[in-house]
Amino acid sequence: MQRRMGCISVKFPIAWQRMNMKKGPNMRLVAPILGLALLAACQSETPDPAPDMFASCGAEDLQSLTGQPLAQFQGHPDADATRVIAPGMAVTMDHRPDRLNVEHDEDLVITRIYCG
């Protein structure tokens, strides 16, 4: 079997000629189907529900302070154990359900209260 590639003529070995003549499943179809079957077997179960962002540290009771000046929160009994987060402030990303977080804007107005 001889094929012309550009200006070069290439002669393929006999084994390659026989492979082209064999009848059987088309590997272009079998490989993707096999891959999808393997991926489906690896699919994880349903994800755990997200933790409640308000219940574990008492943030639910303080939602009425959202939109109020930060000074109103400063007198709260949990103010010492609270992380007050200013705009653009770097904070750790570790999640502590018992920690109360209070975010405020540039005008010192509380924008968000949550656990974490």
Q: What is the CATH number of the domain that holds 66?
A: 3.30.10.10
Q: Which two tokens stand for residue 15?
A: 């084994």
The answer to whether residues 63 and 107 belong to one domain is yes
Total domain count for the chain? 2
The answer to whether residues 32 and 66 belong to one domain is no
Question: Is 54 inside any structural domain?
Answer: no
Under the banding of pLDDT at 50, 70 and 90, the label for residue 37 is confident
Mean pLDDT value of segment 38-43: 69
The answer to whether residues 37 and 63 belong to one domain is no
Under the banding of pLDDT at 50, 70 and 90, the label for residue 55 is low
> Which range of residues forms the domain containing residue 36?
2-41
Q: Which two tokens stand for residue 90?
A: 């770097």
Provide long-range contacts, Cβ within 8 A and 24+ apart, for 53-56. 53/114, 53/115, 53/116, 54/114, 54/115, 55/115, 56/97, 56/98, 56/115
Residue 105 pLDDT > 90? yes
Please give the Cα distance from 65 to 60 (Å, whole number): 10
Question: Is 37 inside any structural domain?
Answer: yes
Residue type, 112: R
pLDDT at residue 17, rounded to an integer: 55
Question: Is 53 inside any structural domain?
Answer: no
pLDDT at residue 106, rounded to an integer: 95
Question: Is 51 inside any structural domain?
Answer: no
Please give the Cα distance from 81 to 97 (Å, whole number): 13
